Amino acid sequence: MNEFKLELSNVKVPSVNHYLGERVVGKIVMKYLTKEAKEFKATFDEEIRKELVKNHNNSSPFYLDRLEVNLKLYFNNRRKHDVENYSKVVLDTMQGILFKDDSQVIKITEEKFYGDREGFDLVLRPYSGESTWGSW
């Protein structure tokens, strides 16, 4: 089975609450990526591309597949962390590189761990289970 695996340490994943900022221009509310989001996106993009070059012939092996994602988030503090606020950021960052759209994700498993490490482990693979969506 073809899998994409990535382990990132010393990388703080911003929560969705810190990913987008808002600015009001006249009567229009404009959204923008925060500095924290831009830094994370740049680091994650670079690591994804390195892994694709190293182990996947420089292209995503499942760009249009239905997908399963396993995500382990590591935090070096005991603050409250809602995993779905972090997984959305990780999925959005992979979109357009590893898969076309995050709607392709059929199953996601999220876990959080507390300790000295800050970062995450990611495994992305084609979804092998049955889906009520029928054929893709």
Averaged over 52-63, what is the pLDDT? 82
In a domain, residue 136? The reply is no
What range does the domain containing 66 cover? 4-126
Q: What is the CATH number of the domain that holds 17?
A: 3.30.1330.70
pLDDT, tens digit, 9 for 90 and up, residues 77-115 = 888 888 889 999 999 989 888 888 989 999 999 999 999
Domain total in the chain: 1
Half-sphere exposure of 23 (CA within 13 A, CB side): 6
